[in-house]
């Protein structure tokens, strides 16, 4: 479904030096897989995820989504993004719109659905995350956990083929992490293709089909969750796991 | 002459108060047209200055806007007015039009920086979220960023409009009889500067005080969605 070929990303620093955040990543994500990416902060895992829908423009390399190289400047990236949902660490709900307006804005403006259809779908999705009663409030009055569940609903309303999660629980109070992870697990059970950057090792163990360990811009290790956690190969991963588990 | 007689001479004799009113009318007319034009030019310039290509490089529009802002901010507004009157629009003797254009173009440069600042103050994540859903930059700007930026823009924009009202006091240069010029003319006719000049100052003050109160109310209303 998504093939990543030799993906490199460099950032120019203010002093003129160059930081190589991704150093030639190759990976293949298949339909229905749940890929969980873990790694120390600054390892490039978020940058990798953000390259998948071109929120970050790669310095070199290819990202092939459904047979099309989306790093090509001729590709209409907006059309591609309609098919890839993204959930952010800081929720990024539109502050000037109600929950319902947040959800239906994109499908209606992009003429994917009529307003009535979008509202109908939004209601169903809100019901699934137990937030139908919040449809007409503004994001300011929601808790972090509620915001993130609505952000997930907003992405889902576009009927995406794959969902990208960028540390979806990192900005939450601990008691709200569970409610968001539950929604994500539900989504996984429904067969959604997911790529998740997270520090929640429990989620990785339970939901992932593959866990990736990213360090210094490379995929250092890739394995099934069982092998990944019980039998880490590299010294670097062993050290990492001993710190976080 | 007693103060009372001086007051009568400055405001009542020959229905002079009507002159102040018509002067105030000219002042407000120029300020209003210039203000509207300033907001339109300013918003366009701000968007031009913020425009980048998909990979974040500045565009030619960027440079055009920067040059405009530099030139306008770098020259006195009196000179801009005279250049408009005697050179660019020399064929027109419509003072209101020339003054409104000149002040509008001048104000646009300041408004563009206000609008740009207001847009930049909106959390970067709002644009990212819009783009991640497949919305274009323009659509996200229109439905998400600008409505939020307006709250940041209104207070300094009100300030700019207040400055604009007072700056129009130089339109006498293009033979418009605005409030300041009326006061000056009456002062020279009655040989008494005190009453007309202080009177005009009080009128400016009252108008701007009223505007300040109105802007305060507007600002509070716009912030309402922030504290639900």
pLDDT digits (tens, 9 = 90+) for B17-57: 999 999 999 999 999 999 999 999 999 999 999 988 767 78
Q: What is the mean pLDDT of residues A95-114?
A: 96
A84 DSSP β-pair partners: A162
| Percentage with pLDDT > 70 across chain B | 97
ipTM over 0.95: no
pLDDT of B172 > 90? The answer is yes
Asked whether the predicted pLDDT for residue A85 surpasses 90, the reply is yes
Residue A5 has pLDDT above 80, yes or no: yes
Identify all chain B residues contacting A55, using CB atoms and an 8 Å cutoff: 128, 131-132
State the smallest CA–CA distance between residue B77 and chain A in angstroms.
37
CB pairs under 8 A, 24+ apart, for B177-181? B177/B19, B177/B22, B177/B23, B177/B26, B178/B23, B178/B24, B178/B26, B178/B27, B178/B30, B179/B20, B179/B23, B179/B24, B179/B26, B179/B27, B179/B203, B179/B204, B180/B23, B180/B27, B181/B23
CA distances (Å), B151 to each of B111, B133, B215, in order? 14, 25, 12
Binning pLDDT at 50, 70 and 90, where does residue B1 land?
Answer: confident
The answer to whether the CB atoms of A85 and B132 lie below 8 A apart is yes
Share of chain B above pLDDT 90, in %: 82
- Chain A residues 141-160 with a CB less than 8 Å from chain B: 141, 151, 154-155, 158
Token pair listed for B227 = 């504290």
Question: Which of A53, A95, A109 shows the shortest C-beta gap to B132?
Answer: A53
- Given the structure tokens 């009655």, which residue do they identify? B190
Restricting to A residues 180-239, those with a Cβ less than 8 Å away from any Cβ of B are none
Read off the pLDDT band of A209 (50, 70, 90). Answer: very high
The mean pLDDT value for A115-139 works out to 96
Q: How far is residue A175's CA from residue A198's CA, in Å, rounded to a whole number?
A: 17
| CA-closest candidate to residue A99, choices A145, A173, A160, A151 | A151
CB atoms within 10 A of CB A6: 13
Tokens encoding B67: 């040059």
Q: How far apart are CA B155 and CA B17, in angstroms?
A: 33
With residues binned 3-state (H G I as helix, E B as strand, rest as coil), the percentages for chain A, rounded to 5, are 40, 25, 35
Chain A: residue nearest B130 by CA? A106
Distances in Å between the alpha carbon of B33 and those of B9, B96, B107, B153?
33, 9, 11, 19
pLDDT at B3: 87
Question: Which string of b and e fits A100-135 if b means at least 16 CB within 10 Å?
Answer: bbbbbbbbbbbeebeeeebbebbeebbebbebeebb
pLDDT band for A245, please (50, 70, 90 cuts): confident
- Mean pLDDT of all residues in B193-213: 95
Residue in A81, A88, A151 closest to B134 by CB = A81
Query: Which pLDDT does position B227 carry in this prediction?
Result: 60
Instruction: State the CB neighbour count (10 A cutoff) for residue A175.
Output: 10
Give the model's confidence band at B208: pLDDT under 50 very low, under 70 low, under 90 confident, else very high. very high
Closest in A55, A92, A154 to B126, CB measured = A92
Mean pLDDT of A218-238: 94
The pLDDT score that the predictor gives to residue A235 is 93
- Quote the pLDDT of residue B57: 81
Q: Which of A11-25, A57-71, A124-138 has the lowest mean pLDDT?
A: A11-25
Mutation target to probe the B interface, by most B beta carbons within 10 A, among A52, A109, A146, A165 is A109
A94: distance to nearest CA of chain B, Å?
Answer: 6
pTM of the model: 0.86
Per-residue pLDDT at B8:
87
Q: What is the pLDDT of residue B52?
A: 82
pLDDT score for A115: 96
Q: What per-residue confidence (pLDDT) applies to B9?
A: 87
Reported as a single tens digit per residue, the pLDDT across B58-115 is 889 999 999 999 999 999 999 999 999 999 999 998 999 999 999 999 999 999 999 9
Give the CB-side neighbour count of residue B4, counting CA atoms within 13 A: 0
- Write the residue in B56, B129, B134 that is nearest to A78 by C-beta: B134
A140–chain B nearest CA distance, Å: 7
| Phi, psi torsion values for A127, nearest 5 degrees | -60, -40
- Asked whether residue B228 carries a pLDDT value surpassing 60, the answer given is no
**Structure confidence at residue B221 (pLDDT):** 85
């Amino acid at each position: 479904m998504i093939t990543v070929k030799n993906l490199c990303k460099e950032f120019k620093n203010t002093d003129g030096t160059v930081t190589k955040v991704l150093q030639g990543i190759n990976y293949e994500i298949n339909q229905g897989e749940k890929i969980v990416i873990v790694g120390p902060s600054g390892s490039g895992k978020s940058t990798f995820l953000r390259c998948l829908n071109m929120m970050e423009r790669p310095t070199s390399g290819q990202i092939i989504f459904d047979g099309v190289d989306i790093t090509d400047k001729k590709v209409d990236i907006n059309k591609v993004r309609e098919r890839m949902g993204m959930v952010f660490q800081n929720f990024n709900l539109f502050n000037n719109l109600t929950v319902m307006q947040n959800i239906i804005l994109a499908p209606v403006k992009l003429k994917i659905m009529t307003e009535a259809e979008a509202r109908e779908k939004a209601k169903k999705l809100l019901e699934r995350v137990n937030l139908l009663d919040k449809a007409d409030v503004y994001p300011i009055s929601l808790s972090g956990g509620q915001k993130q569940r609505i952000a997930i609903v907003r992405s889902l309303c576009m009927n995406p083929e794959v969902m990208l999660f960028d540390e979806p629980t990192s900005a939450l109070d601990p008691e709200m992490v569970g409610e968001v992870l539950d929604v994500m697990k539900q989504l996984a059970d429904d067969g959604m293709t997911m790529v998740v950057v997270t520090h929640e090792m429990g989620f990785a163990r339970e939901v992932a089909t593959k866990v990736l360990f990213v360090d210094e811009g490379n995929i250092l290790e890739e394995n099934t969750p069982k092998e990944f956690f019980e039998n880490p190969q590299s010294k670097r991963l062993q050290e990492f796991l001993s710190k976080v588990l | 002459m007693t103060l009372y007689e001086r007051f009568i001479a400055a405001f009542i004799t020959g229905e002079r108060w009507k002159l102040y009113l018509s002067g105030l009318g000219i002042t407000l007319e120029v300020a209003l047209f210039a203000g509207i034009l300033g907001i339109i030019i300013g918003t366009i310039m701000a968007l031009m200055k913020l425009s980048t290509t998909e990979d974040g490089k500045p565009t030619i529009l960027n440079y055009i806007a920067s040059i405009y802002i530099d030139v306008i901010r770098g020259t006195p507004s009196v000179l801009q007015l005279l250049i408009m009157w005697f050179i660019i629009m020399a064929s027109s003797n419509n003072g209101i039009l020339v003054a409104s254009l000149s002040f509008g173009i001048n104000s646009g440069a300041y408004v563009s920086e206000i609008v740009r600042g207001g847009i930049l103050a909106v959390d970067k994540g709002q644009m990212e979220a819009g783009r991640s859903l497949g919305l274009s930059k323009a659509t996200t700007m229109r439905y998400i960023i600008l409505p939020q930026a307006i709250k940041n823009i209104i207070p300094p924009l009100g300030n700019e409009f207040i400055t604009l009202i007072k700056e129009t006091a130089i339109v006498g240069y293009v033979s418009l009889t605005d409030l300041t010029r009326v006061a000056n003319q009456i002062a020279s006719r009655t040989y008494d500067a005190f009453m007309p000049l202080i009177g005009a100052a009080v009128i400016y003050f009252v108008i701007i005080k009223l505007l300040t109160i109105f802007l305060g109310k507007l600002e509070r209303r716009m912030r309402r969605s922030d504290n639900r």
